[in-house]
Structure 1
């Protein structure tokens, strides 16, 4: 991922935030024909200091299922168009449009999982993670033979990233007045994405101001 130094995040709290906000990621692996293969899927995330682990599963017929070895996992954050008309210096600096966003690229190694106990653990924890926010009560039942049989239709994975790239592109390369103008412009837009990007921009602007 192309990441100018002004937009690079070093604190893994940024990754925590991205995956708490949206744990539906894109997993990319090399394909047998030389072309990349991508799957969009929910992931379970855990971090202990600098050690990160992600888990999930594929449908068994997925051509990517069971891949062992190098992989890239893309984590998607909020994003929004930024109009140059929001910058006070738009005319004298010949400002142009841009797009602000937050994202993470995690590169590492996939470990496929086939044992029933591993698959049951992943399915159970996915239910525990995603059922409560929607008011649901489904839980994996290991005593239900029908549910155990359905585990045969999936392949699990653990993903161990060895490189984590965090990019929060939020006008850090602009003077504060431009950032404030863009924040004001975003706050006039409808939708959650504009509000989220505005909040991130305000936070990064506050960080660079002296106490």
Structure 2
């Protein structure tokens, strides 16, 4: 990922926040034929100090379920268009449009598994997390043979992270007056824009 120094973030709490906001990540791998393949997948994320624990699963027919290392996981944050008309120095500096956003790219290795006990554990924890987020009550019933048979249709993975790149492009390379004006304009926008405005204001000196 192209990350100018002004936009680089080295605090893993920023990664925690991205996963807490949106745990529906993009996983990119390369098959034996050299062609890249991307899947959008819900994942479970946990951090112990500098050690990251990321788990998820594919549908078994997904070709990516047979891919191995290396892999890239993209974690998506808020993003918003920035109009050059918002900058106080738009004429003097000949400003152009841009986009502000937050994201993280994780590079690492995949460990596949399909033993039933591990899949039961994964699906149980996954449903517990995401049902709680929507106020639902569905749970995986390990005693229900019908549900256990459906485990044959998935393959689990653990993603072992080797490198983390976090990028917050929040107009840090602009004068303070521009940053304030952009944050003010974005605060009147949609949910993504308001999130970016809040992030911009959080880093103001």
Indicate conservation of the 8 Å contact 2:70/2:109, yes or no: yes
| RMSD of equivalent CA atoms | 0.8
Distance 2:81 2:69 in 1: 36
Please give the per-residue CA displacement for 1:70-128, whole angstroms capped at 9, x wherever unaligned. Answer: 10000000000001111111111111110000000000000001111111111101111
Q: Tell me the TM-score normalized by structure 2.
A: 0.98
Distance 1:119 1:65 in 2: 14
Alpha-carbon deviation of 1:62? 0.3
Alpha-carbon deviation of 1:197? 0.5
Q: Tell me the TM-score normalized by structure 1.
A: 0.95
Please give the per-residue CA displacement for 1:21-79, whole angstroms capped at 9, x wherever unaligned. Answer: 00000000012221101110100001001100110000000000142221000000000
Q: Which residue of 1 aligns with 2:166?
A: 166
1:126-205 → structure 2 map (5 Å cutoff): 126-189=126-189, 191-205=190-204
1:91-130 → structure 2 map (5 Å cutoff): 91-130=91-130
In the TM superposition, structure 1's runs of 4+ consecutive aligned residues that sit over 3 Å from their partners are none
Indicate conservation of the 8 Å contact 2:31/2:67, yes or no: no
How many correspondences in the alignment? 205
1:15-164 → structure 2 map (5 Å cutoff): 15-164=15-164
Give the unaligned 5+ runs of structure 2: none
Indicate conservation of the 8 Å contact 1:67/1:111, yes or no: no
Distance 1:70 1:122 in 2: 22
Distance 2:200 2:170 in 1: 5
Distance 1:69 1:93 in 2: 46
Matched, 1:2 2:2: yes
Give the unaligned 5+ runs of structure 1: none
Distance 2:135 2:196 in 1: 28
